[in-house]
Amino acid sequence: GDFPIELDTVVIGAGPGGYVAAIRAAQMGQKVAVIEKGNVGGVCLNVGCIPSKALIHAGEVLEAATHSEFMGIQIEKATVDFAKTQEWKASVVNKLTSGVRYLLKKNGVEIIEGEAIFVDDNHLRVMTEESGQSYSFEHAIIATGSTPVEIPSLAYGTRIIDSTGALNLPEVPKSLVIVGGGVIGCELGTAYAHLGSEVTILEGADRILPPFDADLSKLVTKEMEKQGMKIETSVMAKSATETETEATLVYEKDGVEHTLTADYILVAVGRKPNTKELGLEMASVEVDERGFIQVDECGRTTNESIFAIGDIVAGPQLAHKASYEGKVAAEVISGKDVTVDYRAIPAVAFTSPEVATTGVTLSEIEGDDRFVVSTFPLASNGRALSLNATDGFIRFISTKENKILVGCQIAGPSASDLIAEATLAIEAGMNVEDIALTIHPHPSLSETLMDTAELAQGMPIHI
Ligand code: FAD
């Protein structure tokens, strides 16, 4: 064999977990390389968060252009040149991925292209089509992410597609059936509905967006139906077939079998960790029964010198959670005494309206009298009125004893940005008075957090 190249820290996968971990480890003085078999930026930048938000925004622009008569704005005929929309989306992705490459280089991180496989406790091999090279490492961070689950009876093809296929469609489909009403299904469904597709979402549970509180799901369901989307819950997708031009789904509801034919069927039923073909057993890294790598509160696996972060470990499959774990693992490896703290991980669905949650949810504390729940309607906020977006609310969950904020849910425009303030407050251990006495800019949606805090104090000014 070849001589191994020595590295302090090697990171496998350059997604939001891996590239962040690599940069942080390099900043803390290590000689770092990141191995990537696909594209720098991982799922998030290439086929996840970023391209999906670009399509969602394009849909919102069209939606606003065609539905603003009430404010005296009439556009004769708004049309979509989808090839151009896709070009623009690709340019957004390209800017970001080359930005990540630049940041890695700037911090002295070597980018190694190829597929990594462990050969023993402190060696791995990187394979490219032409060759292989061995590396020895003091520490390794596994950040190989996840891929869409494939149901055998709904096998992917050209008309039966996964989220990556749905992001890269050549045209706006006339009709789109989505199996799975989770965040990815609901977001892509909303984007295409706004762009003109007839969208049907089929969900196995009794409501869409199951990880969010029921009232958030209900609000999004109502809005989606208002926008013409069809939502069927408590259904079981059984099988799908495709021809050159369309796909047909067979599903069951209340014991009755139905069929649906559409231009495309998007199957978005969850993502599985990429742990196979990594040679984990050669490095004594153990996975749980669902294939997730087992880690302690520092991100350390069953092999002392190997860490794992992001979608490959348990917890919500979110880019910011991957990056956070990446920073913690890199700092632990560099000798800092830190552990993860999952008290407040914000989660967002970029639907219409956006919904967001951080910290404790309502379903976790319902009926528990140690908590106070305060809900402020968006309709009482001037900025929301001026945006014509009053369907929504802000909810605080605080402790009764000392009024410390422990949870927040938001439905409405910019919920994805507003949730950051609540996350910071929870992280800092603030109570509702701290928030109520923080001066917020007027007129802004952020004032609703101050209003909700006043409500929690029992002295609301605006309702
Ligand atoms: P990944 O981003 O999956 O990156 C892993 C990388 O490892 C990949 O580049 C892969 O090629 C590489 N790799 C795998 N195996 C090997 C190997 N053996 N050798 C070398 N390289 C390897 N999250 C959010 O927070 N917000 C959102 O709005 C959001 N929207 C999403 C929309 C869609 C359509 C999808 C699919 C996901 C979305 N997510 C979102 C989830 C988010 O993309 C993931 O949580 C995140 O990418 C996980 O980061 P990661 O670093 O763990 O792994």
Phi, psi of 262 (to 5 degrees): -150, 170
Cβ–ligand 1 contact at 184 (below 6 Å)? yes
Phi, psi of 248 (to 5 degrees): -125, 135
Atom 26 (ligand 1) nearest CA: 49
Shortest-distance atom of ligand 1 to CA 13: 7
Phi, psi of 415 (to 5 degrees): -55, -35
CB 438 within 8 A of CB 405: no
Shortest-distance atom of ligand 1 to CA 16: 51
Cβ–ligand 1 contact at 36 (below 6 Å)? yes
- Distance CA(309)–CA(327), nearest Å, equals 9
Mean pLDDT on 285-297 = 96
CB 364 within 8 A of CB 370: no
Atom 11 (ligand 1) nearest CA: 38
- Number of other residues whose CB lies within 10 A of the CB of residue 10: 30
Going by C-beta distance under 8 Å and a sequence separation of 6 or more, which residues neighbour residue 235?
Answer: 202, 203, 204, 251, 252, 253
Mean pLDDT on 444-457 = 98
What distances in angstroms separate CA 223 from CA 27, 190, 216, 231, one per listed residue?
A: 46, 10, 11, 11
Q: What is the pLDDT of residue 1?
A: 54
Collapsed DSSP state (helix, strand, coil) of residue 56: helix
Which residue in the block uniquely carries the two structure tokens 């309709």? 379
Cβ–ligand 1 contact at 40 (below 6 Å)? no
Cβ–ligand 1 contact at 35 (below 6 Å)? yes
Cβ–ligand 1 contact at 166 (below 6 Å)? no
Mean pLDDT on 89-110 = 98
Q: Is 38 annotated as a binding residue?
A: no
Atom 22 (ligand 1) nearest CA: 13
Cβ–ligand 1 contact at 161 (below 6 Å)? no
Per-residue pLDDT reduced to its tens digit, 226-282: 999 999 999 999 999 999 999 999 999 999 999 999 999 999 999 999 998 999 999
Cα(311) to centroid(ligand 1), Å: 7
Q: Is 187 annotated as a binding residue?
A: yes
Cβ–ligand 1 contact at 435 (below 6 Å)? no
3-state secondary structure 375-437: EEEHHHCHHHHHCCCCCCEEEEEEECCCCEEEEEEEECCCHHHHHHHHHHHHHCCCEHHHHHC
Cβ–ligand 1 contact at 52 (below 6 Å)? yes
Test site for ligand 1: of 12, 23, 24, 44, most ligand atoms within 8 A of the Cβ: 44
- Distance CA(169)–CA(76), nearest Å, equals 27
Per-residue pLDDT reduced to its tens digit, 129-158: 888 999 999 999 999 999 999 999 999 999
What distances in angstroms separate CA 221 from CA 55, 207, 209, 231, one per listed residue?
A: 20, 8, 9, 7
- Distance CA(16)–CA(143), nearest Å, equals 9
Per-residue pLDDT reduced to its tens digit, 377-389: 999 999 999 999 9
- Distance CA(179)–CA(237), nearest Å, equals 7
The pLDDT mean for the chain works out to: 97
- Distance CA(36)–CA(21), nearest Å, equals 14
Per-residue pLDDT reduced to its tens digit, 302-356: 999 999 999 999 999 999 999 999 999 999 999 999 999 999 999 999 999 999 9
Per-residue pLDDT reduced to its tens digit, 436-445: 999 999 999 9
> 100 is written with which tokens?
């990540």
Cα(46) to centroid(ligand 1), Å: 9
442 is an active site residue = yes
Cβ–ligand 1 contact at 22 (below 6 Å)? no
Atom 16 (ligand 1) nearest CA: 144
Shortest-distance atom of ligand 1 to CA 40: 9
Element counts in the chain: helices (H) and strands (E): 13, 22
For residue 2, is pLDDT > 90? no
Atom 33 (ligand 1) nearest CA: 48
Q: Is 95 annotated as a binding residue?
A: no
Q: Is 44 annotated as a binding residue?
A: no
Q: Is 181 annotated as a binding residue?
A: yes
Q: Is 408 annotated as a binding residue?
A: no
Per-residue pLDDT reduced to its tens digit, 205-229: 999 999 999 999 999 999 999 999 9
